[in-house]
Structures are given as structure tokens and as C-alpha cells.
Amino acid sequence: MSLYLHSLRFCDAAKALTDLWFSLPRKRGFVCPTKADFNPMKMRQHLKSVALYEIQKNGSIITRVAGTKIEAFLGKEITGKNLLDVLPPEFVRTYQNHFYNLAKFPCAGLLDRPQIGIEGSFHLIKSLQLPLLNNLGKITHFVGIAEPYPLPKHFTDYRAAAMAASRNININYVDIGAGVPEHVETNMARGF
């Protein structure tokens, strides 16, 4: 496995999702499996960290399924809601562009962003998105993992300042067989 593909496996849930996604059958000439071939129940103990999104023609990104771990961390139910309506406003445009790139160029997406948990703790949310085809061969769905990582306590004096000063989102695209977006900044994208 290449170093780039290895980067998709940042936690146990991401490893399980990546292995499942790469094991699914592909239609001839396509690098992505279909949504119909993806069975989230095969994620077993990691199901609580899985999210399934659908991009709409109007630009909305509907959260079809959000695992209980994701919703518990956010402190709200997001299943059935437009992801762009539940994100902090400064991240909306970046997420919209990110999902557009994933749909236009079949590739994997890695996204890291700061988040304050419901109990006021500071976290880095690391997420993975993998594309899925609809029955017409178009990328309309994405399956992903979101994992919160608490910022270490030895940064206590700096966490609040870092969260307030840094509204950056780190985005990386990983080639899954069809290349990556060429004219997109792939390391840092400002959330505003």
C-alpha cells in the first residue's frame, strides 16, 4: 500500500472503512464502488463513527446517516439534515468546495478541523470521505469516518487562543486510481 493510501487509515474505524471500500466490486471502467454495494453493517463495531452523505443538485449535502459517536460529540442529531446548515458558518464554503471536488474528481478526501465539544473541550476532528456511485455511474454519495482527537492538556494555556486564531481546515486529496484535483489548494484551505 502506498504511503498516500496508508494516510487514509488514521484510526481503527478508518482502517475498517478503507479496507471495506477497496474490497467492494467496481463496474467496468470505474474506480469507485456503487452505493448499492456498500453495506454499512459490515463496519460492525465502527458503525458509530460512520457517516453517509448525499450531494444534491442544489449544492446541499444531506447527511443520510451519522453514527451515534459523531452525533454524541456534536451534541445534536444531524441525520437527515443538510451538513452545510449544521457546520460553523466559517466552514460552509470550504466544505461545499471540498465535496464538489470529491464528486468531480473521484478521489479520497482527508479533512482536519478544530472543534469545541459540547462539554467545552478542544478537539481536532479528523475525517475521511470516500466516493460512491449512484446507479447512473455518477458520484452522488460519500461514506466517511469522523474521529475527534482532544488537544493535549499540556497545551491548556494555548488551546483557546489557537482555536480562536486558527479557523483553518487542512484538506488533502488522495489518489484512488483517477488522480486528484490539479488546480485546487490541497493542503490548507481557510475556513473563511
Whichever domain contains 111, its CATH number is 3.30.450.20
Pick the residue with more confidence: 2 or 73?
73
118 has a pLDDT exceeding 80 = no
Mean pLDDT of 3-23: 84
Per residue in 128-157, pLDDT (tens digit) is 999 999 999 899 999 999 888 877 665 555
Give the pLDDT score at 52: 94
Collapsed DSSP state (helix, strand, coil) of residue 191: coil
Give pTM, 2 decimals: 0.84
Give the pLDDT score at 188: 38
Q: Which residue, chain included where needed, has cell 466544505?
A: 95
123 has a pLDDT exceeding 80 = no
Q: Mean pLDDT of all residues in the chain?
A: 81
Q: Which residue, chain included where needed, has cell 444531524?
A: 78
Give the pLDDT score at 75: 80
Domain that holds residue 163: 3-190
For the chain, what is the domain count? Answer: 1
Give the pLDDT score at 161: 53
Give the pLDDT score at 152: 67
Per residue in 87-115, pLDDT (tens digit) is 888 888 888 888 988 888 888 898 888 77
The residue among 35, 59, 40 whose CA lies nearest residue 51 is 40
Give the pLDDT score at 23: 92
Pick the residue with more confidence: 153 or 26?
26
The residue among 66, 77, 19, 73 whose CA lies nearest residue 43 is 19
Dist. CA 67–CA 182, nearest whole Å:
32
Instruction: Please give the share of the chain, as a percent, with pLDDT higher than 90.
Output: 31
